Structure 1
Amino acid sequence: MNLKKSVVFGLACVSFAAFVVGCGDDPASSPDFTLSSSSCHSGLDSESSSSSVSLSNAEGSSSSLNTDSISSSSLQNDKSSSSRYSELDSESSSSKQVSSSSSWSGAIGSSSGLNTNSSSSSSSQNDKSSSSRHSGHLSSLGGDDPESSSSLAPSSSSALPVKIDFFNGADISEVQEYERNNTKFYDVDGKESDIFTILKNHGFNSIRLRTFVSPKTKYGYAASGCGHDAEAYGDKEHVVAFAKKVKAAGMGLLVDIHYSDVWADPGKQIIPERWRNVNNADAMADSVYTYTKDLMNALKAAGATPDMVQIGNETTPGILIHKPNSNTDCWGNGVDKAATSVNGDMGTAAGKANAAKYFNAGIKAVKEVSPTTKTVLHIERIRKSETVNWWMGVIFDDYKIPADVMGFSAYTAYGDGAPDNWKSLFNSLTSKYSKLEFIVAEYNGGDSDNHYNFDGSRKKTREVVRGMNRWIGTFFWEPTIGGAWGAGLFDWKGKDLYANAKAFEEFY
């Protein structure tokens, strides 16, 4: 359903807008979540190891058809800047507006409603990357050491594994960038603390961190001029440094690997720059394997072995599908389809087979480093049960991908409905896939752009999920940020973040 993912970081903040239109609701139509087609360059990944990966797939791709084709325009967004989804569902009658703020001053992500410090808005629903995220410019600030932080240190220094019965988590990937600006955090009592302690004080026990392959490259998350270029946030070094803090705080860790240099979601799954010369699926799978294993080894060596690892982000259309062109923007919108020999577009028979190889390669790498780490696959579109059933049928029934956990994005503001609406689908999946565990990898509870009704739906999300067999967690998406997906849990006051007491009431 992938996708659960508008403000650009900059002293002069620029708003863009992008949407991906869902279409093809007829279950008899063939799935095609990709954009325009094009050919891929030939050549092997120079960073790949020489060893090949032995991947066993159940051949015979499914003839099942997708219920939702998705196309994209090159306007805006992605989780990277804030307006969450770069998708405008065809069922929506109106587009979501995305607010943007022009400076660090002001309450930017107020959980009490719309951002009062917005300077402009665009009329399309976007990805988390471009929305009313947070409009602060980081490139001119100090603090180049990813290990350093002006924020208070977590109260616990233990890096030992934590026994977690249910992952009550939050994705706080953006916080590392705020730390560079010496952002301070305050709990509901007004006392300064660190982000981990505040979240733990309100019942959170786990953190989700995203990672990109080479975010400083052209078209990457931290490319020059894209608002995050002060440092290569999201790369291996930054993720390892932040993961060490998570473990030091005694919290569980889910690492979300995008397998891209920029946001990956239903509108785009862009092949990383260093893999774009790969010309066959086996070599691409080897690149996935080598990269994943290197990341896992680095995390393990740092004492931050993840409890769970996502093999891809919101991969409803597939994985490693696209390549950028001269029109591609900072959020990855406006792309071409890579060659059939390598793209993992699940709208085609060849793409399904390729995607299966890539998922298998990532899972294999994780398990070789840490057999106890759970591997997660992740999609959106839970409002379309036909799509969910189609996708899981291809991946688990046809190709027998050995993932441990299936994750979903669940956003009321994107048309997924209220938590009670999810019960039927979630329970049916539990019954059908008896060997899988499940999580809601992203949720907010907001009902519209940067707004939450305080109707208890956030608490209800956890209660509904926890009450079902083999559902092991929920992860709130970016509590420090408000956008098209809903409001955050903190209020911005200048460059500092204050926990919103009313918002946190549902998390005790």
Structure 2
Amino acid sequence: MLKWIAFIILLGLLFSCSSEKKTTIPKASVPDFISGVDLSYVNQVEDHGGKFRVKGIEADPFRIFQEHGASTVRVRLWHNPEWTKKLNGGKTYSDLADVIKTIRRARQAGMMVNLDFHYSDDWSDPAKQAVPKAWEGLALPLLKDSVYNYTLAVLNQLKLLGLVPEMVQVGNENNNGIMFPLGKVSNDDWSSFASLLNSGIDAVRDFSKTSSIKPRIIIHVAQLQNAFHWLKNLTAAGVNDFDIIGLSHYFKWSEVTSMQAISDTISAIRNKYGKEVMVVETAYPWTALNADLYPNVISGADAFEQYPASPEGQQRYLCDLVDAIRKGGGKGVMYWEPAWISSRLRDQWGQGSSWDNCTLFDFEGNVLPAMNCLGH
């Protein structure tokens, strides 16, 4: 009964996508090492005037990344991000309709997809994992059913459109749990978090039984130094049916700084847990300047001395990082929001981009040298 109630809640969210026609696009081939880019913001950037160029000539950003070696597009999915309408002239972003558009563009460019379920209406990260408004106040059993049915419904909708992702992230940067407060780790109790995560995992596995594309499951923790503690507790609580350990690695917040230490840590995680390891978020600045009045999250002053905040420094850092991940036996790397260039885009904190100095495009939208590291 609980599962049917949860399913009814989903119908309104998915109805707007039901009239989409199935896309007939060849499946992307799976490389041994995955070079990915998170392009969740691209539709919004373009709608607000952002342009992408190769040597001054405007081009489709998805094609640009594919031609420079990217094999995969990562895209975030928020449950019901109504708040984005107020900032974008009534248009919603990072909902299912927007995600479908992104996946279709990725497929047309010949790339695979990593679908990142945030299980929230807004940003999820180690500090905040807000339960979707539609699920507020639900007891744990019904919340678990909601997670299961929502995950399954989204994947089934994508299947109808011929847009099944090759990878699915069940949660985003879940260091301290998921869907607070019920799924938050408290007093070292990981059981509720684990049961909610397993509901999403079960949905992906059940979907795979009837799908020719069987998505590989990624679970995600931020920063390498947190991985062992997190995995120890999560696996002990019963989360074991996943394929890839996804890591965020941002040099500014990492305690694992040298390239050798990165290789050693990835190798140790692989050996201990017998799973593939992938860096699913990373970035590095190419300049200390700012394209707009929106303060940047990472400044040029944060850069390492051996990798200055310059186009050349960014290129050396990213190519060295790719080599370090490969050396440690990692499965791949995904660059976070390399196309979040400055535009009229507005979010909760400003207009433009707080990431314009960490993109793989300069302030005129031209490709930077570091993009060549994607095929490195």
User: Normalization by structure 1: what TM-score?
Assistant: 0.59
SS of structure 2 residue aligned to 1:240: helix
Are the aligned partners of 1:212 and 1:262 in contact in 2 as well (CA < 8 Å)? Answer: yes
2:267 to 415, 427, 431: 427
Structure number with greater CO (CA < 8 Å, separation at least 6) is 1
Counterparts of 1:234 and 1:369, CA distance in 2:
22
Counterparts of 2:96 and 2:239, CA distance in 1:
29
1:405 counterpart residue number: 244
Which letter maps to 2:7?
A: S
After superposition, give the CA deviation of every residue in 1:425-464 in whole Å (9 maximum; x if it has no partner).
Answer: 2111111011x11110101134983543433111111111
Identical-pair percentage: 26
Counterparts of 2:201 and 2:184, CA distance in 1:
19
Task: Please report how far the alpha carbon of residue 223 of structure 1 lies from its aligned counterpart in structure 2 after TM superposition.
Answer: 5.4
2:142 counterpart residue number: 283
Task: Please report how far the alpha carbon of residue 159 of structure 1 lies from its aligned counterpart in structure 2 after TM superposition.
Answer: 3.5
2:197 counterpart residue number: 359
SS of structure 2 residue aligned to 1:359: helix
1:376 counterpart residue number: 218
After superposition, give the CA deviation of every residue in 1:156-202 in whole Å (9 maximum; x if it has no partner).
Answer: x8332423222100001100112323543211x32222111111221
Task: Please report how far the alpha carbon of residue 485 of structure 1 lies from its aligned counterpart in structure 2 after TM superposition.
Answer: 9.9
Which letter maps to 1:244?
A: R
2:26 counterpart residue number: 159
Counterparts of 1:46 and 1:231, CA distance in 2:
30
Task: Please report how far the alpha carbon of residue 229 of structure 1 lies from its aligned counterpart in structure 2 after TM superposition.
Answer: 5.6
Which letter maps to 2:74?
A: R
Are the aligned partners of 1:213 and 1:261 in contact in 2 as well (CA < 8 Å)? Answer: yes
Counterparts of 1:499 and 1:47, CA distance in 2:
48
Counterparts of 1:485 and 1:281, CA distance in 2:
40
Are the aligned partners of 2:152 and 2:203 in contact in 1 as well (CA < 8 Å)? Answer: yes
Are the aligned partners of 2:78 and 2:122 in contact in 1 as well (CA < 8 Å)? Answer: yes
Counterparts of 1:398 and 1:369, CA distance in 2:
24
Counterparts of 1:185 and 1:484, CA distance in 2:
15
Task: Please report how far the alpha carbon of residue 424 of structure 1 lies from its aligned counterpart in structure 2 after TM superposition.
Answer: 2.3
Counterparts of 1:304 and 1:348, CA distance in 2:
41
Counterparts of 1:446 and 1:420, CA distance in 2:
21
Counterparts of 1:400 and 1:378, CA distance in 2:
12
Which letter maps to 1:203?
A: G
After superposition, give the CA deviation of every residue in 1:212-233 in whole Å (9 maximum; x if it has no partner).
Answer: 00000xxx4x153xx3463221
After superposition, give the CA deviation of every residue in 1:313-372 in whole Å (9 maximum; x if it has no partner).
Answer: 100010011xxxxxxxxxxxxxxxx3xxxx11123355x111111111111111222252
SS of structure 1 residue aligned to 2:366: strand
1:292 counterpart residue number: 151
Alignment CA distance shift 1:368-1:401 (3 Å): same
2:318 counterpart residue number: 458
Aligned residues: 324
Counterparts of 1:461 and 1:485, CA distance in 2:
20
1:31 counterpart residue number: none
Counterparts of 1:284 and 1:376, CA distance in 2:
21
After superposition, give the CA deviation of every residue in 1:109-153 in whole Å (9 maximum; x if it has no partner).
Answer: xxxxxxxxxxxxxxxxxxxxxxxxxxxxxxxxxxxx99xxxxxxx
Q: Is 1:205 the equivalent of 2:64?
A: no
Counterparts of 1:231 and 1:223, CA distance in 2:
5
SS of structure 2 residue aligned to 1:232: coil
Q: Is 1:489 the equivalent of 2:356?
A: no
Counterparts of 2:356 and 2:144, CA distance in 1:
33
1:236 to 96, 103, 121: 96
Counterparts of 1:49 and 1:200, CA distance in 2:
37
SS of structure 2 residue aligned to 1:444: coil
Counterparts of 1:201 and 1:346, CA distance in 2:
42
Counterparts of 2:188 and 2:251, CA distance in 1:
32
Counterparts of 1:411 and 1:228, CA distance in 2:
29
Counterparts of 1:223 and 1:241, CA distance in 2:
17
Alignment CA distance shift 1:238-1:245 (3 Å): same
Aligned-residue Cα RMSD (Å) equals 2.6
Greater fraction helix:
2
For structure 2, the 5+ residue unaligned runs are 9-15, 18-23, 289-297, 301-308, 341-352
Are the aligned partners of 1:310 and 1:377 in contact in 2 as well (CA < 8 Å)? Answer: yes
Alignment CA distance shift 1:45-1:272 (3 Å): farther
Counterparts of 2:202 and 2:254, CA distance in 1:
35
1:475 counterpart residue number: 334
1:181 to 23, 38, 48: 48
User: Normalization by structure 2: what TM-score?
Assistant: 0.79
SS of structure 1 residue aligned to 2:107: helix
Task: Please report how far the alpha carbon of residue 271 of structure 1 lies from its aligned counterpart in structure 2 after TM superposition.
Answer: 0.4
Counterparts of 2:106 and 2:328, CA distance in 1:
27
